[in-house]
Amino acid sequence: MSQDDVSLEARLEEQDTFEPPESFVEQANVTDEGIYEEFEENWPECWEGAADLLSWEQEYDTVLDEGGAPFYEWFTGGELNASYNCIDRHVESGDGDRTAVEWEGELGETRSYTYEELLEEVQAVAATLRELGVEEDDVVTLYMPMIPELTVAMLACARIGAPHSVVFAGFSADALATRMNSSDSEYLITADGYYRRGDSLDHLSKTNEGLEDVEHETATIVVDRLGDDLDHSLADGQHDYEELVDENRGETVEPVTRDAEDMLFLMYTSGTTGQPKGVKHTTAGYLAYTAWTSQAVLDLEPGDTYWCSADIGWITGHSYIVYGPLALGTTTVMYEGTPDYPDKDRFWEIVEKNEVDVFYTAPTAIRAFMKWGKEYPEKHDLSSLRLLGTVGEPINPRAWKWYYKHIGGEECPIVDTWWQTETGGHMITTLPGVNEMKPGSAGPGLPGVDTRIVDAQGEEVDAGEAGYLTVQKPWPGMLRTLYQNDERFIEEYWEEYSDPDADEWVYFPEDGAKIDEDDYITVLGRVDDVINVSGHRLGTMEIESAIVGVEGVAEAAVVGGDHEVKGEAVYAYVITEDGYEGDDELAEEIVEGVVDAIGPIAKPEDVVFTPELPKTRSGKIMRRLLEDIASGNELGNTSTLRNPEVVDEIAAQVQDE
Ligand code: ATP
Ligand code: MG
């Protein structure tokens, strides 16, 4: 490193607030800080602006109907179609030639659809689904990898009013069957396979295995993604996508009229903490909210090229690859593969080639990039970027600063967006053209979103103190219920802090958080992930953040394990950065780092260096397995892991010590 680099690094390290870069603010969609007050004073009518981003067949008459709280209804009386909003209206207004979907296959092939082409393809698939017997309100399951047919299929479902239930392609056969049974879904679109690090993966066999456990007849359409790379034959009741769809190309399928509160889709949560929940989202509120947050938070404009590297199999892909960006008329990039294929600069190659304006990814990916080194982004011209985002877990300041400097060139704001499958869209984040950024803290609740941190009794905590995150007013993108399970909906989200007798409803996302004097919220993690050491409650994410702040550490997971004296003790599992040894010296530095940041109470009992951490397919650390290892328990179910083999490796290592 040159002398300049060293002083730059040192300056960044010290700095804990960042103003939005001038060049960004000059062009941002939202720049007036008065927006917070305006929304508060004018709530819930403040959400009319979000509804105005949509085209309605019939104007709504009520913004918010609280009569059945907590079964809130938004924009009631209104009628619209999501597929029309995401496609037709852009074609009708003369933007049919603009690219809607730009797809990058892992092997380097590309496919793109203009809005006009997307319209044609969506109608063909909609016609095909109808031919197969799909009627309005039938749930169609989409068990597909990241191929354009997935986006097309979602919009085709929306067009004919058939809610989709996307099951992440990385999930097991069992997960598919559970979700299809739970949603009584009799229609399935899947694919023969897809590519991962150059290898072809057989997805069809897994699908068939799952279908064996589905309790009802299913009509299945199979996309041929692998061609000659997979020798497959279709069973009875299974149809080749291209054969069926091709017959319907050129068909016109009018978008059906949906009520504002008609179900748009069903999405099962990732299941990090237990049984997945079938989250129900409806048409108007969800679409208005994703469009509005795409505009205000992701700063998207028609004509932007935008890339969210998430998988459509989880909510981020639904809201911010498909519905939000397409409702605004943006070009949305879809990538099939992994960030390190064929090399560790694949993402930056995609950014450069497509001149991506806005990029949205997960902290786990950023920590991997950091571990691989800045030479990979440095090979590419990333100057097209204007804004960066993160989602999925807290981002620790060191990773934030790396992202800010090496990807954004210190010219792009970063939005650290806290939200959930259940919230439909962003809830806590800075507005990139308005607020200063504080690495490690997501920011204030969005305008109109009433987030408060409370103690166990529901009283608001003071600045600096930790408590429970709550949302005290409804918002348009909220889940309406858990599919066919209103009781569990109340139990999971509303029971904790509401006062039903007074008709006061408080949404509890089950995350812990801290708030500072500027109302910036730092999410500490799920309340289940809190460790109780000698009566002190410690957030796993906070300890992890302290550990990844130590030089030489790439990633860390912290869990509570049984301890004779303390009840629970802190156990740390750590991945080192390239070029660093996981030795006693580093372990000592880690312990010191935690003690410095949080206090001796959080001192790890044991630091275990490991090459990998057990992760779900969506990239979240599966802490309960590490807890089993730390406590010496029998290992729990590993079937939804992306890398089940590491669990045994870590267990063996701990026993050897
Ligand atoms: P399940 O609810 O089934 O256990 P899940 O909570 O992992 O699964 P998601 O809805 O995908 O499913 O994840 C939402 C959770 O992710 C949040 O509740 C929070 O714990 C975490 N999260 C998301 N974004 C952030 C962020 N920016 N900062 C901190 N935590 C985040
Ligand atoms: Mg959750």
What is the rounded CA–CA span in Å between residue 323 and residue 460?
A: 35
Taking residue 452's Cβ as centre, other Cβ atoms within 10 Å add up to 22
CB of 604 sitting under 6 A from ligand 1 = no
Q: Specify the ligand 1 atom closest to the Cα of 417.
A: 27
Q: Specify the ligand 1 atom closest to the Cα of 429.
A: 27
467: which strand partners?
Answer: 513
Q: Which ligand is nearest to the CA of 440?
A: 1
CATH topology of domain 82-338: Rossmann fold (3.40.50)
Q: Where residue 540 falls among pLDDT bands split at 50, 70, 90?
A: confident
CB of 276 sitting under 6 A from ligand 1 = yes
- Tell me the Cα Rg of the chain: 24
The model's pTM: 0.89
Q: Which ranges in 494-583 belong to alpha helices (H)?
A: 540-548
CB of 511 sitting under 6 A from ligand 1 = yes
The reported pLDDT for the residue numbered 527 is 80
Q: Quote the DSSP letter at residue 210.
A: H
What is the rounded CA–CA span in Å between residue 451 and residue 471?
A: 4
Is residue 538 over pLDDT 90?
no
The reported pLDDT for the residue numbered 296 is 98
75: which strand partners?
Answer: none
The reported pLDDT for the residue numbered 222 is 97
CB of 520 sitting under 6 A from ligand 1 = no
Q: Where residue 144 falls among pLDDT bands split at 50, 70, 90?
A: very high
64 touches 72 (CB < 8 A): yes
Q: Which of 71, 95, 45, 510 is nearest to 269 (CA)?
A: 510
- For residues 460 and 635, which has the higher predicted lDDT (pLDDT)? 460
The reported pLDDT for the residue numbered 118 is 98
pLDDT in tens, 115-138: 999 999 999 999 999 999 999 999
Measure 524 CA to ligand 2 centroid, in angstroms: 13
What is the rounded CA–CA span in Å between residue 403 and residue 440?
A: 12
From atom 14 of ligand 1, which residue's Cα is the shortest distance away? 420
pLDDT in tens, 614-627: 887 767 788 888 88
pLDDT in tens, 563-595: 887 778 899 999 998 889 999 999 999 999 998
CB of 283 sitting under 6 A from ligand 1 = no
Query: Burial level of 534, CB count in 10 A (0-12/13-18/19+)?
Result: exposed
- For residues 609 and 641, which has the higher predicted lDDT (pLDDT)? 609
The reported pLDDT for the residue numbered 4 is 56
CB of 644 sitting under 6 A from ligand 1 = no
Over residues 401-413, the mean pLDDT reads: 97
The reported pLDDT for the residue numbered 273 is 61
In three-state secondary structure terms, 255 is coil
Is residue 93 over pLDDT 50?
yes
187: which strand partners?
Answer: 140, 219
Q: Specify the ligand 1 atom closest to the Cα of 416.
A: 27
H or E segment to which residue 51 belongs: helix 48-51
In three-state secondary structure terms, 364 is helix
Residues in the chain: 657
pLDDT in tens, 354-384: 999 999 999 989 999 998 999 999 999 999 9
459 touches 516 (CB < 8 A): no
CB of 271 sitting under 6 A from ligand 1 = yes
> Which of 316, 320, 393 maximizes ligand 1 atoms within 8 Å of its Cβ, making it the mutation to test the pocket?
393
What is the rounded CA–CA span in Å between residue 417 and residue 359?
A: 13
573 touches 632 (CB < 8 A): no
Residue indicated by tokens 């981020």:
316
What is the rounded CA–CA span in Å between residue 657 and residue 645?
A: 19
CB of 643 sitting under 6 A from ligand 1 = no
From atom 13 of ligand 1, which residue's Cα is the shortest distance away? 420
In three-state secondary structure terms, 559 is strand
Which CA distances in Å does 202 have to 142, 170, 205, 236? 16, 11, 6, 19
Is residue 274 over pLDDT 80?
no
What are the percentages of helix, strand and coil residues in the chain, rounded to 5?
Answer: 35, 25, 40
What is the rounded CA–CA span in Å between residue 641 and residue 368?
A: 18
Measure 545 CA to ligand 2 centroid, in angstroms: 20
Is residue 3 over pLDDT 60?
no
Over residues 312-331, the mean pLDDT reads: 97
Is residue 8 over pLDDT 70?
no
Q: Where residue 1 falls among pLDDT bands split at 50, 70, 90?
A: very low
The lowest-confidence range among 140-144, 238-242, 525-529 is: 525-529
Classify domain 534-656 at the CATH class level.
alpha beta
pLDDT in tens, 149-165: 999 999 999 999 999 99
What is the rounded CA–CA span in Å between residue 6 and residue 21?
A: 22
Residue type, 252: T
Q: Where residue 66 falls among pLDDT bands split at 50, 70, 90?
A: very high
The reported pLDDT for the residue numbered 219 is 96
| DSSP states along 300-325 | --TT-EEEE-S-TTSHHHIIIIIIHH
The lowest-confidence range among 51-55, 175-179, 559-563 is: 559-563
Q: Where residue 336 falls among pLDDT bands split at 50, 70, 90?
A: very high
The reported pLDDT for the residue numbered 591 is 94
C-alpha 379: how far from chain center: 28
Non-local CB neighbours of 349 within 8 Å, separated by 6+ positions = 380
Q: Which of 217, 198, 205, 47 is nearest to 132 (CA)?
A: 217
The reported pLDDT for the residue numbered 641 is 76
Strand residues in 256-350 grouped as ranges (E): 258-259, 263-268, 278-282, 305-308, 331-335
Note the ipTM here. 0.99
- For residues 649 and 43, which has the higher predicted lDDT (pLDDT)? 43
What is the rounded CA–CA span in Å between residue 657 and residue 655?
A: 5
The reported pLDDT for the residue numbered 583 is 93
Q: Where residue 599 falls among pLDDT bands split at 50, 70, 90?
A: confident
> Which of 281, 320, 418 maximizes ligand 1 atoms within 8 Å of its Cβ, making it the mutation to test the pocket?
418
Taking residue 329's Cβ as centre, other Cβ atoms within 10 Å add up to 20
pLDDT in tens, 27-64: 999 999 999 999 999 999 999 999 999 999 999 999 99
Structure tokens at 514: 């801290």
Taking residue 494's Cβ as centre, other Cβ atoms within 10 Å add up to 17
β-bridge pairing 387-391 and 451-454: unpaired
Over residues 322-350, the mean pLDDT reads: 97
CB of 531 sitting under 6 A from ligand 1 = no
Q: Where residue 469 falls among pLDDT bands split at 50, 70, 90?
A: very high
307: which strand partners?
Answer: 333, 359
Is residue 268 over pLDDT 70?
yes
pLDDT in tens, 484-524: 999 999 999 999 999 999 999 999 999 989 999 999 999 98
In three-state secondary structure terms, 162 is coil
Q: Which of 210, 104, 91 is nearest to 155 (CA)?
A: 91
Q: Which ligand is nearest to the CA of 511?
A: 1
Residue indicated by tokens 């996302």:
509
Taking residue 504's Cβ as centre, other Cβ atoms within 10 Å add up to 12
201 touches 642 (CB < 8 A): no
Q: Which ligand is nearest to the CA of 523?
A: 1
What is the rounded CA–CA span in Å between residue 221 and residue 175?
A: 19
Question: Which sequence spans correspond to the domains of the chain?
Answer: 32-62+417-521, 82-338, 534-656
What is the rounded CA–CA span in Å between residue 157 and residue 264?
A: 9
First to last CA, the chain: 38
Which CA distances in Å does 354 have to 102, 225, 320? 9, 23, 18
CB of 392 sitting under 6 A from ligand 1 = yes
Name the CATH superfamily housing domain 32-62+417-521. Luciferase; Domain 3 (2.30.38.10)
> Which of 390, 523, 615, 641 maximizes ligand 1 atoms within 8 Å of its Cβ, making it the mutation to test the pocket?
523
What is the rounded CA–CA span in Å between residue 269 and residue 171?
A: 12
Q: Which of 76, 77, 75, 70 is nearest to 473 (CA)?
A: 70
Residue indicated by tokens 């109470």:
601
Mean pLDDT of the chain: 93
The reported pLDDT for the residue numbered 282 is 98
What is the rounded CA–CA span in Å between residue 158 and residue 137?
A: 10
Measure 90 CA to ligand 1 centroid, in angstroms: 33
